[in-house]
Structure 1
Amino acid sequence: MTAVLLIEDDDRIRLSLVLALEDEGYAAHAVATAEEGLIEQRRVGADTVLIDLMLPGMDGFECIRQLRRTDDVPIVVISARDDTHDIVAALEAGADDYLIKPVAVKELAARLRALRRRSRTADAPALRILTFGDLELRPEAGEVRLHGAEVPVTRTEFQLLCELADHAGQVLSREQLLQRVWGYDIGDERLVDVHVGRLRHKIEDTPGKPRHLVTVRGLGYKLQP
Protein backbone atom coordinates (compact mmCIF):
# COMPACT_ATOMS: atom_id res chain seq x y z
CA MET A 1 0.00 0.00 0.00
CA THR A 2 1.32 3.42 -0.95
CA ALA A 3 2.17 5.57 2.07
CA VAL A 4 1.49 9.31 2.20
CA LEU A 5 2.76 11.64 4.93
CA LEU A 6 0.59 14.69 5.64
CA ILE A 7 2.05 17.65 7.55
CA GLU A 8 -0.86 19.92 8.46
CA ASP A 9 -1.50 21.82 11.70
CA ASP A 10 -5.25 22.41 11.21
CA ASP A 11 -6.96 19.52 13.00
CA ARG A 12 -10.10 19.63 10.85
CA ILE A 13 -8.23 19.72 7.53
CA ARG A 14 -5.78 17.06 8.69
CA LEU A 15 -8.56 14.66 9.67
CA SER A 16 -10.58 15.23 6.49
CA LEU A 17 -7.54 14.69 4.26
CA VAL A 18 -6.53 11.54 6.13
CA LEU A 19 -10.02 10.09 5.65
CA ALA A 20 -10.02 11.08 1.99
CA LEU A 21 -6.60 9.53 1.41
CA GLU A 22 -7.61 6.32 3.13
CA ASP A 23 -10.77 6.18 0.98
CA GLU A 24 -8.49 6.38 -2.06
CA GLY A 25 -6.49 3.41 -0.80
CA TYR A 26 -3.46 5.17 0.68
CA ALA A 27 -1.82 4.50 4.03
CA ALA A 28 -1.99 7.99 5.55
CA HIS A 29 0.39 9.20 8.26
CA ALA A 30 -0.39 12.65 9.66
CA VAL A 31 1.46 15.06 11.95
CA ALA A 32 0.89 18.68 12.96
CA THR A 33 4.39 20.19 12.78
CA ALA A 34 7.36 20.22 10.44
CA GLU A 35 9.62 18.90 13.16
CA GLU A 36 7.34 15.89 13.65
CA GLY A 37 7.14 15.47 9.90
CA LEU A 38 10.89 15.16 9.47
CA ILE A 39 11.02 12.52 12.20
CA GLU A 40 8.01 10.65 10.78
CA GLN A 41 9.45 10.58 7.27
CA ARG A 42 12.66 9.04 8.57
CA ARG A 43 10.56 6.45 10.37
CA VAL A 44 8.03 5.46 7.69
CA GLY A 45 9.72 6.54 4.44
CA ALA A 46 6.47 7.66 2.85
CA ASP A 47 6.14 7.56 -0.94
CA THR A 48 4.77 11.11 -1.07
CA VAL A 49 4.77 14.05 1.37
CA LEU A 50 1.92 16.57 1.51
CA ILE A 51 2.82 19.74 3.39
CA ASP A 52 1.24 23.02 4.43
CA LEU A 53 3.43 26.12 4.38
CA MET A 54 2.05 27.91 7.42
CA LEU A 55 3.09 25.65 10.28
CA PRO A 56 3.93 26.40 13.91
CA GLY A 57 7.67 26.47 14.60
CA MET A 58 9.56 25.51 11.46
CA ASP A 59 7.61 26.62 8.39
CA GLY A 60 6.89 24.54 5.33
CA PHE A 61 9.60 26.13 3.20
CA GLU A 62 12.37 25.11 5.61
CA CYS A 63 10.84 21.66 6.06
CA ILE A 64 10.95 21.11 2.30
CA ARG A 65 14.58 22.24 2.17
CA GLN A 66 15.53 19.86 4.99
CA LEU A 67 13.71 16.95 3.36
CA ARG A 68 15.50 17.62 0.09
CA ARG A 69 18.93 17.35 1.72
CA THR A 70 18.49 13.61 2.21
CA ASP A 71 15.33 12.50 0.38
CA ASP A 72 14.04 12.74 -3.20
CA VAL A 73 10.49 11.85 -2.15
CA PRO A 74 7.82 13.68 -4.19
CA ILE A 75 6.57 16.70 -2.22
CA VAL A 76 3.21 18.37 -2.82
CA VAL A 77 2.42 21.67 -1.11
CA ILE A 78 -1.18 22.16 0.03
CA SER A 79 -1.60 25.76 1.12
CA ALA A 80 -4.05 28.64 1.28
CA ARG A 81 -1.27 30.95 0.10
CA ASP A 82 -1.86 31.58 -3.59
CA ASP A 83 0.62 34.41 -4.17
CA THR A 84 2.97 33.76 -7.07
CA HIS A 85 5.99 34.51 -4.86
CA ASP A 86 4.97 31.81 -2.38
CA ILE A 87 4.31 29.25 -5.10
CA VAL A 88 7.64 29.87 -6.79
CA ALA A 89 9.48 29.91 -3.44
CA ALA A 90 7.99 26.53 -2.50
CA LEU A 91 8.93 25.01 -5.85
CA GLU A 92 12.43 26.44 -5.64
CA ALA A 93 12.80 25.00 -2.14
CA GLY A 94 12.24 21.57 -3.70
CA ALA A 95 8.49 20.92 -3.92
CA ASP A 96 7.24 19.03 -6.97
CA ASP A 97 3.71 20.37 -7.06
CA TYR A 98 1.46 22.98 -5.44
CA LEU A 99 -2.27 22.85 -4.65
CA ILE A 100 -4.27 25.75 -3.27
CA LYS A 101 -6.79 25.21 -0.48
CA PRO A 102 -9.57 24.25 -0.37
CA VAL A 103 -8.38 21.09 -2.10
CA ALA A 104 -10.79 18.95 -4.10
CA VAL A 105 -10.24 15.33 -3.13
CA LYS A 106 -10.52 14.11 -6.72
CA GLU A 107 -7.89 16.59 -7.89
CA LEU A 108 -5.56 15.58 -5.07
CA ALA A 109 -6.05 11.91 -5.93
CA ALA A 110 -5.31 12.64 -9.60
CA ARG A 111 -2.10 14.48 -8.69
CA LEU A 112 -0.99 11.59 -6.47
CA ARG A 113 -1.67 9.07 -9.23
CA ALA A 114 0.39 11.19 -11.63
CA LEU A 115 3.26 11.23 -9.15
CA ARG A 116 3.12 7.47 -8.79
CA ARG A 117 3.37 7.03 -12.56
CA ARG A 118 6.69 8.81 -12.63
CA SER A 119 9.73 6.62 -12.41
CA ARG A 120 13.45 7.17 -12.28
CA THR A 121 13.97 4.23 -14.59
CA ALA A 122 12.92 3.85 -18.20
CA ASP A 123 11.29 0.78 -19.75
CA ALA A 124 14.16 -0.15 -22.09
CA PRO A 125 16.29 -3.00 -20.72
CA ALA A 126 19.59 -1.76 -22.15
CA LEU A 127 21.63 0.77 -20.21
CA ARG A 128 21.77 3.96 -22.23
CA ILE A 129 24.19 6.85 -21.88
CA LEU A 130 22.93 10.03 -23.50
CA THR A 131 25.71 12.57 -23.98
CA PHE A 132 25.31 16.30 -24.45
CA GLY A 133 28.86 17.65 -24.39
CA ASP A 134 29.99 17.53 -20.75
CA LEU A 135 26.51 16.46 -19.63
CA GLU A 136 25.62 12.77 -19.39
CA LEU A 137 22.21 11.27 -18.69
CA ARG A 138 21.75 7.60 -17.79
CA PRO A 139 17.97 7.04 -17.79
CA GLU A 140 17.93 3.42 -16.63
CA ALA A 141 20.43 4.06 -13.84
CA GLY A 142 18.69 7.24 -12.71
CA GLU A 143 21.92 9.23 -12.98
CA VAL A 144 22.90 12.67 -14.24
CA ARG A 145 26.59 13.53 -14.57
CA LEU A 146 28.33 16.81 -15.32
CA HIS A 147 32.08 16.77 -16.04
CA GLY A 148 31.99 13.14 -14.87
CA ALA A 149 30.60 13.94 -11.40
CA GLU A 150 27.11 12.81 -10.43
CA VAL A 151 24.57 15.61 -10.06
CA PRO A 152 21.87 15.18 -7.40
CA VAL A 153 18.40 15.78 -8.85
CA THR A 154 14.87 15.16 -7.64
CA ARG A 155 12.57 12.65 -9.31
CA THR A 156 10.66 15.38 -11.10
CA GLU A 157 13.84 17.10 -12.29
CA PHE A 158 15.12 13.75 -13.57
CA GLN A 159 11.88 12.98 -15.38
CA LEU A 160 11.88 16.43 -16.95
CA LEU A 161 15.45 16.01 -18.13
CA CYS A 162 14.69 12.54 -19.54
CA GLU A 163 11.71 13.89 -21.47
CA LEU A 164 13.82 16.65 -23.00
CA ALA A 165 16.66 14.20 -23.73
CA ASP A 166 14.29 11.80 -25.50
CA HIS A 167 13.41 14.71 -27.79
CA ALA A 168 16.88 16.25 -28.02
CA GLY A 169 16.97 19.25 -30.31
CA GLN A 170 13.18 19.39 -30.43
CA VAL A 171 11.28 22.22 -28.79
CA LEU A 172 8.73 21.07 -26.21
CA SER A 173 6.13 23.56 -25.07
CA ARG A 174 5.29 24.13 -21.43
CA GLU A 175 1.92 22.49 -22.06
CA GLN A 176 3.59 19.38 -23.51
CA LEU A 177 6.03 19.12 -20.61
CA LEU A 178 3.28 19.64 -18.06
CA GLN A 179 1.31 16.79 -19.58
CA ARG A 180 4.23 14.40 -20.13
CA VAL A 181 6.11 14.96 -16.88
CA TRP A 182 3.39 15.94 -14.41
CA GLY A 183 0.55 14.12 -16.15
CA TYR A 184 -1.80 17.12 -16.17
CA ASP A 185 -3.91 18.13 -19.14
CA ILE A 186 -4.45 21.50 -17.45
CA GLY A 187 -2.12 22.95 -14.85
CA ASP A 188 0.13 25.77 -13.74
CA GLU A 189 2.95 26.30 -16.22
CA ARG A 190 5.05 27.85 -13.45
CA LEU A 191 5.80 24.27 -12.40
CA VAL A 192 7.75 23.83 -15.63
CA ASP A 193 9.56 27.17 -15.49
CA VAL A 194 10.73 26.76 -11.90
CA HIS A 195 11.97 23.20 -12.42
CA VAL A 196 13.81 24.24 -15.58
CA GLY A 197 15.46 27.02 -13.57
CA ARG A 198 16.49 24.62 -10.83
CA LEU A 199 17.88 22.16 -13.37
CA ARG A 200 19.95 24.89 -14.98
CA HIS A 201 21.61 25.66 -11.67
CA LYS A 202 22.64 22.01 -11.49
CA ILE A 203 23.65 21.18 -15.07
CA GLU A 204 24.88 24.48 -16.48
CA ASP A 205 28.27 26.03 -15.76
CA THR A 206 26.63 29.44 -16.25
CA PRO A 207 22.90 29.11 -15.49
CA GLY A 208 22.17 32.60 -16.81
CA LYS A 209 23.63 31.63 -20.19
CA PRO A 210 22.59 27.98 -20.60
CA ARG A 211 24.28 25.81 -23.21
CA HIS A 212 22.34 22.59 -22.63
CA LEU A 213 18.79 23.43 -21.56
CA VAL A 214 17.81 26.41 -23.65
CA THR A 215 14.69 28.53 -24.03
CA VAL A 216 13.14 29.01 -27.46
CA ARG A 217 11.27 32.26 -26.99
CA GLY A 218 7.53 31.95 -27.42
CA LEU A 219 7.70 28.18 -27.94
CA GLY A 220 9.21 26.36 -24.97
CA TYR A 221 12.40 24.51 -24.05
CA LYS A 222 14.80 22.10 -25.67
CA LEU A 223 17.92 20.15 -24.76
CA GLN A 224 20.71 20.91 -27.19
CA PRO A 225 22.04 17.78 -28.92
Structure 2
Amino acid sequence: MSLTNLSPLQQLRAGRLPVRLTYLIVGLLFFALAIALMIRAQLGVDPWNVLHLGIANHLPLSLGTIAILTGALVLFTWIPLKQWPGLGTIANVLVIGLGLDFFLAVIPPIQGLSWQISVFLLGIAVNGLGGAMYIGSHLGPGPRDGLMTGLHLATGRSIRLIRTCIEVSVLAIGWMLGGPVGVGTVAYALLIGPSVQFFMKFMVLRLPAPRTQSQPALD
Protein backbone atom coordinates (compact mmCIF):
# COMPACT_ATOMS: atom_id res chain seq x y z
CA MET A 1 0.00 0.00 0.00
CA SER A 2 1.43 3.40 -0.98
CA LEU A 3 -0.52 6.62 -0.48
CA THR A 4 0.41 9.87 -2.19
CA ASN A 5 -0.02 13.54 -1.35
CA LEU A 6 -0.37 15.12 -4.78
CA SER A 7 -1.37 18.61 -5.80
CA PRO A 8 -4.57 18.86 -7.91
CA LEU A 9 -2.52 19.20 -11.13
CA GLN A 10 -0.28 16.28 -10.17
CA GLN A 11 -3.38 14.18 -9.48
CA LEU A 12 -4.57 14.68 -13.06
CA ARG A 13 -1.11 14.11 -14.57
CA ALA A 14 -0.17 11.06 -12.53
CA GLY A 15 -1.24 8.56 -15.22
CA ARG A 16 -3.88 5.83 -15.55
CA LEU A 17 -6.57 8.52 -15.34
CA PRO A 18 -9.47 6.50 -16.89
CA VAL A 19 -8.90 3.63 -14.43
CA ARG A 20 -8.51 6.03 -11.52
CA LEU A 21 -11.71 7.90 -12.43
CA THR A 22 -13.57 4.58 -12.56
CA TYR A 23 -12.18 3.67 -9.12
CA LEU A 24 -13.25 7.07 -7.81
CA ILE A 25 -16.86 6.92 -9.03
CA VAL A 26 -17.41 3.24 -8.17
CA GLY A 27 -15.83 3.74 -4.75
CA LEU A 28 -18.07 6.71 -3.99
CA LEU A 29 -21.16 4.78 -5.10
CA PHE A 30 -20.14 1.91 -2.82
CA PHE A 31 -19.75 4.46 -0.02
CA ALA A 32 -23.27 5.80 -0.67
CA LEU A 33 -24.64 2.24 -0.78
CA ALA A 34 -22.98 1.51 2.57
CA ILE A 35 -24.59 4.53 4.22
CA ALA A 36 -28.00 3.53 2.84
CA LEU A 37 -27.59 -0.05 4.11
CA MET A 38 -26.69 1.13 7.60
CA ILE A 39 -29.60 3.59 7.69
CA ARG A 40 -32.05 0.89 6.53
CA ALA A 41 -30.68 -1.52 9.15
CA GLN A 42 -32.06 0.88 11.81
CA LEU A 43 -29.41 0.10 14.41
CA GLY A 44 -27.86 3.56 14.70
CA VAL A 45 -26.16 6.19 12.55
CA ASP A 46 -22.44 6.56 11.98
CA PRO A 47 -20.44 8.87 14.31
CA TRP A 48 -20.32 11.82 11.90
CA ASN A 49 -24.11 11.86 11.63
CA VAL A 50 -24.34 11.56 15.42
CA LEU A 51 -22.26 14.75 15.46
CA HIS A 52 -24.39 16.44 12.79
CA LEU A 53 -27.62 15.60 14.61
CA GLY A 54 -26.11 16.71 17.91
CA ILE A 55 -25.19 20.08 16.42
CA ALA A 56 -28.69 20.34 14.94
CA ASN A 57 -30.03 20.28 18.52
CA HIS A 58 -28.32 23.61 19.14
CA LEU A 59 -28.40 25.43 15.78
CA PRO A 60 -31.43 26.35 13.61
CA LEU A 61 -29.87 24.80 10.49
CA SER A 62 -30.78 21.82 8.31
CA LEU A 63 -28.81 18.60 8.65
CA GLY A 64 -27.43 19.02 5.14
CA THR A 65 -26.21 22.53 5.89
CA ILE A 66 -24.54 21.34 9.08
CA ALA A 67 -22.84 18.50 7.17
CA ILE A 68 -21.51 20.96 4.58
CA LEU A 69 -20.25 23.38 7.23
CA THR A 70 -18.63 20.53 9.17
CA GLY A 71 -16.90 19.35 6.00
CA ALA A 72 -15.62 22.89 5.35
CA LEU A 73 -14.23 23.11 8.88
CA VAL A 74 -12.52 19.74 8.48
CA LEU A 75 -10.87 21.02 5.30
CA PHE A 76 -9.13 23.71 7.35
CA THR A 77 -7.36 20.94 9.27
CA TRP A 78 -5.77 19.90 5.98
CA ILE A 79 -3.62 23.06 5.96
CA PRO A 80 -1.09 22.07 8.67
CA LEU A 81 -1.16 18.50 7.34
CA LYS A 82 -0.27 19.79 3.84
CA GLN A 83 -3.09 17.86 2.22
CA TRP A 84 -4.33 18.83 -1.26
CA PRO A 85 -8.01 18.76 -2.31
CA GLY A 86 -8.77 17.31 -5.69
CA LEU A 87 -11.45 16.04 -8.04
CA GLY A 88 -12.24 13.32 -5.53
CA THR A 89 -12.87 15.91 -2.84
CA ILE A 90 -15.58 17.56 -4.95
CA ALA A 91 -16.98 14.29 -6.28
CA ASN A 92 -17.21 13.04 -2.70
CA VAL A 93 -20.05 15.44 -1.99
CA LEU A 94 -21.93 15.17 -5.29
CA VAL A 95 -21.73 11.44 -6.06
CA ILE A 96 -22.34 10.28 -2.50
CA GLY A 97 -25.33 12.64 -2.13
CA LEU A 98 -26.98 11.56 -5.39
CA GLY A 99 -26.12 7.90 -4.85
CA LEU A 100 -27.50 7.95 -1.32
CA ASP A 101 -30.85 9.32 -2.49
CA PHE A 102 -31.04 6.58 -5.15
CA PHE A 103 -30.15 3.69 -2.83
CA LEU A 104 -32.52 4.86 -0.11
CA ALA A 105 -35.30 4.94 -2.72
CA VAL A 106 -34.74 1.31 -3.76
CA ILE A 107 -33.69 -0.33 -0.47
CA PRO A 108 -36.59 -0.84 1.97
CA PRO A 109 -36.22 -0.75 5.76
CA ILE A 110 -34.80 -4.01 7.08
CA GLN A 111 -36.95 -5.99 9.51
CA GLY A 112 -35.83 -8.69 11.93
CA LEU A 113 -32.83 -8.36 14.22
CA SER A 114 -30.70 -10.99 12.50
CA TRP A 115 -31.22 -9.33 9.11
CA GLN A 116 -30.58 -5.89 10.58
CA ILE A 117 -27.27 -7.00 12.08
CA SER A 118 -26.22 -8.74 8.85
CA VAL A 119 -27.09 -5.75 6.68
CA PHE A 120 -25.37 -3.33 9.06
CA LEU A 121 -22.16 -5.40 9.06
CA LEU A 122 -22.37 -5.62 5.26
CA GLY A 123 -22.64 -1.83 5.21
CA ILE A 124 -19.43 -1.49 7.23
CA ALA A 125 -17.61 -3.84 4.84
CA VAL A 126 -18.91 -2.01 1.75
CA ASN A 127 -18.00 1.30 3.42
CA GLY A 128 -14.42 0.11 3.88
CA LEU A 129 -14.23 -1.10 0.27
CA GLY A 130 -15.67 2.13 -1.15
CA GLY A 131 -13.45 4.32 1.00
CA ALA A 132 -10.34 2.37 0.02
CA MET A 133 -11.24 2.59 -3.68
CA TYR A 134 -11.77 6.32 -3.88
CA ILE A 135 -8.78 7.08 -1.64
CA GLY A 136 -6.73 4.63 -3.70
CA SER A 137 -7.61 6.46 -6.92
CA HIS A 138 -5.15 9.23 -5.88
CA LEU A 139 -7.67 11.90 -6.94
CA GLY A 140 -8.06 13.46 -3.53
CA PRO A 141 -10.05 12.08 -0.60
CA GLY A 142 -13.17 13.62 0.89
CA PRO A 143 -12.76 16.11 3.75
CA ARG A 144 -13.01 13.55 6.53
CA ASP A 145 -10.90 10.88 4.84
CA GLY A 146 -8.34 13.53 3.94
CA LEU A 147 -7.94 14.20 7.64
CA MET A 148 -7.36 10.47 8.15
CA THR A 149 -4.79 10.09 5.37
CA GLY A 150 -3.08 13.36 6.31
CA LEU A 151 -2.58 12.16 9.88
CA HIS A 152 -1.37 8.80 8.54
CA LEU A 153 1.25 10.46 6.33
CA ALA A 154 2.28 12.94 9.03
CA THR A 155 2.59 10.47 11.92
CA GLY A 156 3.28 7.12 10.29
CA ARG A 157 0.52 5.55 12.39
CA SER A 158 -1.74 2.93 10.82
CA ILE A 159 -4.93 3.83 8.98
CA ARG A 160 -6.76 1.50 11.36
CA LEU A 161 -5.61 3.34 14.49
CA ILE A 162 -6.12 6.84 13.11
CA ARG A 163 -9.57 6.14 11.64
CA THR A 164 -10.74 4.49 14.85
CA CYS A 165 -9.50 7.42 16.98
CA ILE A 166 -11.25 9.95 14.73
CA GLU A 167 -14.54 8.05 14.73
CA VAL A 168 -14.55 7.51 18.50
CA SER A 169 -13.71 11.20 19.13
CA VAL A 170 -16.48 12.42 16.80
CA LEU A 171 -18.92 9.98 18.40
CA ALA A 172 -18.12 11.26 21.90
CA ILE A 173 -18.58 14.91 20.90
CA GLY A 174 -21.84 14.16 19.07
CA TRP A 175 -23.20 12.20 22.03
CA MET A 176 -22.37 15.05 24.43
CA LEU A 177 -24.29 17.40 22.12
CA GLY A 178 -27.33 15.13 22.26
CA GLY A 179 -26.89 13.15 19.06
CA PRO A 180 -28.57 9.73 18.84
CA VAL A 181 -26.31 6.77 19.60
CA GLY A 182 -27.27 3.13 18.93
CA VAL A 183 -25.46 -0.16 19.14
CA GLY A 184 -24.69 0.15 15.42
CA THR A 185 -22.99 3.48 16.06
CA VAL A 186 -20.56 1.92 18.50
CA ALA A 187 -19.97 -1.04 16.15
CA TYR A 188 -19.23 1.33 13.26
CA ALA A 189 -16.76 3.38 15.31
CA LEU A 190 -14.86 0.25 16.30
CA LEU A 191 -14.98 -1.68 13.01
CA ILE A 192 -14.63 0.92 10.25
CA GLY A 193 -10.90 1.42 10.86
CA PRO A 194 -10.04 -2.28 10.44
CA SER A 195 -12.38 -2.46 7.42
CA VAL A 196 -10.66 0.40 5.59
CA GLN A 197 -7.21 -0.90 6.58
CA PHE A 198 -8.01 -4.34 5.12
CA PHE A 199 -9.26 -3.09 1.76
CA MET A 200 -6.49 -0.50 1.40
CA LYS A 201 -4.06 -3.43 0.99
CA PHE A 202 -5.73 -4.33 -2.29
CA MET A 203 -7.42 -1.18 -3.61
CA VAL A 204 -4.68 1.47 -3.73
CA LEU A 205 -3.74 1.81 -7.40
CA ARG A 206 -0.05 1.79 -8.29
CA LEU A 207 0.90 4.92 -10.20
CA PRO A 208 3.44 4.85 -13.05
CA ALA A 209 6.93 5.95 -12.02
CA PRO A 210 7.53 9.56 -13.11
CA ARG A 211 9.73 9.87 -16.20
CA THR A 212 13.06 11.64 -15.96
CA GLN A 213 15.00 13.33 -18.74
CA SER A 214 17.01 10.11 -19.21
CA GLN A 215 13.78 8.18 -19.73
CA PRO A 216 12.24 9.25 -23.05
CA ALA A 217 8.56 8.64 -23.65
CA LEU A 218 7.72 5.58 -25.72
CA ASP A 219 5.41 6.09 -28.68
TM-score, length of structure 1 as denominator length: 0.30
Higher relative contact order (CA 8 A, sep 6+): 2
Greater per-residue helix proportion: 2
